[in-house]
Structure 1
Amino acid sequence: MAFSGSVIWITGASSGIGEAIALELGRTQKVKLILSARREKELQRVATQTGLPESDVLVLPMDLSDTESLAAHVDTVRQRFGRIDYVFQNAGITQRSTVADTDFSVYKRLMDVNFFGAVALTKAILPLMLAQGNGHFIVTSSVAGKLGTKKRSGYCASKHALHGFFDSLRAETYNEGLRITLVCPGYIRTPISINALGADGNRHGKMDANQEKGLSVEDFSHRLLRAVSQEKEEVYIGGTEIYGIYLKRFLPGLLSRILRNRKET
Structure 2
Amino acid sequence: MDFDGKTVWITGASSGIGAALAREWAQRGASLVLSGRDEARLSQVADGLECETLVLPFDVRDEAAMREATEKATAWKEGGVDVFVANAGVSQRSLAVDTNMAVYREIIDIDLTAQIAATQALLPHMVGRGSGRFVFISSVAGKVGVPMRTAYCAAKHGLIGYADALRAELVMSGIDVHVVTPGSVATNVSRNALEADGSARGRSDKAIDEGIPADEAATAIIDAVALNQREIVVARGMEQAMAEARRTPDQLLDQVARMVENGYVEKMQRSDT
* 1:119 partnered with 2:111: no
Take 2:64 and 2:109, find their aligned partners in 1: how far apart are those partners? 12
Take 1:246 and 1:218, find their aligned partners in 2: how far apart are those partners? 22
| Alpha-carbon offset, residue 68 of structure 1 | 3.0
Alignment of 1:87-98 (within 5 A): 87-98=84-95
| Alpha-carbon offset, residue 150 of structure 1 | 1.1
One-letter amino acid of the counterpart of residue 69, structure 1: A
Alignment of 1:31-110 (within 5 A): 31-52=30-51, 56-82=52-78, 83-110=80-107
Residue 15 of structure 1 aligns with which residue?
15
Match of 2:242 among 238, 241, 244: 244
Identity of aligned residues (%): 37
Deviations 1:40-70 (A, max 9, x none): 0011111010122xxx210000111112322
Take 1:247 and 1:104, find their aligned partners in 2: how far apart are those partners? 31
| Alpha-carbon offset, residue 78 of structure 1 | 2.1
* 1:170 partnered with 2:167: yes
> SS at the partner of 1:176?
coil
User: Normalising to structure 1: TM-score of the pair?
Assistant: 0.90
One-letter amino acid of the counterpart of residue 138, structure 1: V
| Alpha-carbon offset, residue 10 of structure 1 | 0.7
Match of 1:216 among 196, 213, 218: 213
Alignment of 1:145-224 (within 5 A): 145-224=142-221
Take 2:66 and 2:6, find their aligned partners in 1: how far apart are those partners? 21
Take 1:149 and 1:25, find their aligned partners in 2: how far apart are those partners? 31
| Alpha-carbon offset, residue 88 of structure 1 | 1.2
Deviations 1:139-171 (A, max 9, x none): 100000001011100000000001111100000
Residue 259 of structure 1 aligns with which residue?
none
Residue 270 of structure 2 aligns with which residue?
none
Take 1:221 and 1:78, find their aligned partners in 2: how far apart are those partners? 24
Deviations 1:216-250 (A, max 9, x none): 0111011111000011100111111121134457x
Take 2:177 and 2:111, find their aligned partners in 1: how far apart are those partners? 17
* 1:2 partnered with 2:2: yes
Take 2:174 and 2:112, find their aligned partners in 1: how far apart are those partners? 24
Supply the RMSD in Å over aligned alpha carbons: 1.3
* 1:139 partnered with 2:136: yes
Deviations 1:5-33 (A, max 9, x none): 1011011110000000111121x222211
> SS at the partner of 1:44?
helix
Residue 24 of structure 1 aligns with which residue?
24
> SS at the partner of 1:175?
coil
Deviations 1:115-160 (A, max 9, x none): 0111000000000000100010011000000010111000000000
Take 1:73 and 1:247, find their aligned partners in 2: how far apart are those partners? 38
Take 2:230 and 2:246, find their aligned partners in 1: how far apart are those partners? 19
Conserved? CA contact 2:181–2:243, under 8 Å: no
Residue 253 of structure 2 aligns with which residue?
none
Take 1:245 and 1:219, find their aligned partners in 2: how far apart are those partners? 18
| Alpha-carbon offset, residue 71 of structure 1 | 1.5
Take 2:167 and 2:56, find their aligned partners in 1: how far apart are those partners? 27
Gaps of 5+ in 1: 250-265
Gaps of 5+ in 2: 248-273
Take 2:77 and 2:57, find their aligned partners in 1: how far apart are those partners? 17
